[in-house]
Amino acid sequence: MQHAPKPKPPAEGPRHVAIIMDGNGRWAQQRGRPRLFGHQAGARRVRAVVEACPDLGIEYLTIFAFSTENWKRTQSEVSGLMGLFRRYITKEMEGFLREGVRVRFIGDRIRLDPKLRELMDEVETLTAHNCRVNLTIALNYGGRDEVARATKRLAQEVAAGRLDAECVDETTLTRFLDTCVLPDPDLVIRTSGEARISNFLLWQSAYAEYEFIDTLWPDFTPEIFAEVVERFGGRARRFGAVL
């Protein structure tokens, strides 16, 4: 008698997804509109992606909003982006609270406008008890800059005698990173067809799976998100071992 094959156990999905939201400018240019129009469309797309996370089993979502290198863009674009960030945080704050979204920011805040920093502090405080989705926004963030700042703080602890240099290892440095309270990302997605990581979560993504897709960020729908997450479930993650 032939037995029916046992059903496969459900694939384990990613707990933490990080996204490089690329392609806003090109999306706008394709429509004959200024680049800021594309950034506005991209900001609206964030809400749909955040709302999709619980159904996909994603607890942590980290998005790359503005890099340390983005200051090289035109003054008008940078100013427009900073204004967009302020409007976005103000507009979405009630929604974050209602939907149980906890918001954190990573990156070097010193260069940011004081009013923007105040808004960032406010939304972090107001959403601190939320746990349905953990949204981390990387703003004025660069992976190398983060590691340099963490190393500086670590060195200060050693110099002050609060840390033994002989005991410093990978775990020690991790405690000084902006992401010290977050798990490492399981999956990193970059939209727009570019196949590079652009200084994003360099330390944390050592064993992450990557997906580079052609879709421009404003066109990145929850359905596309679900497809990428499903593909993740079919990958064998060895972490250097042999399975």
Q: Where are the alpha helices (DSSP H) in 53-108?
A: 75-99
Interatomic CA distance for residues 25 and 119, integer angstroms: 26
The count of other CB atoms within 10 Å of the CB of residue 235 is: 13
231 is in an annotated binding site: no
CB 11 within 8 Å of CB 233: yes
22 is in an annotated binding site: yes
Closest CA to 204 of 224, 235, 182, 230: 182
67 is in an annotated binding site: yes
Tokens (6 digits) for 26: 């090109």
137 is in an annotated binding site: no
20 is in an annotated binding site: no
| 70 noted as active-site residue | yes
76 is in an annotated binding site: no
Interatomic CA distance for residues 47 and 40, integer angstroms: 12
In the beta sheet, which residues pair with residue 16?
Answer: 60
Would you say how long the chain is, in residues? 243
151 is in an annotated binding site: no
26 is in an annotated binding site: yes
92 is in an annotated binding site: no
Interatomic CA distance for residues 187 and 234, integer angstroms: 12
217 is in an annotated binding site: no
129 is in an annotated binding site: no
73 is in an annotated binding site: yes
| 22 noted as active-site residue | yes
Which of 55, 70, 113, 121 is catalytic? The answer is: 70
Which of 22, 134, 140, 186 is catalytic? The answer is: 22
The count of other CB atoms within 10 Å of the CB of residue 195 is: 7
Tokens (6 digits) for 162: 């609060």
The count of other CB atoms within 10 Å of the CB of residue 72 is: 8
Q: Given the structure tokens 């972490």, which residue do they identify? A: 239
Q: Given the structure tokens 């940078």, which residue do they identify? A: 78
203 is in an annotated binding site: no
Q: Which residues are annotated as a binding site for substrate?
A: 23-27, 35, 39, 67-69, 71, 73, 190, 196-198
- Give catalytic residue positions: 22, 70
Please report, in range form, the residues annotated as the binding site for Mg(2+).
Answer: 22, 209
Instruction: Pick out the residues of the known binding site.
Output: 22-27, 35, 39, 67-69, 71, 73, 190, 196-198, 209
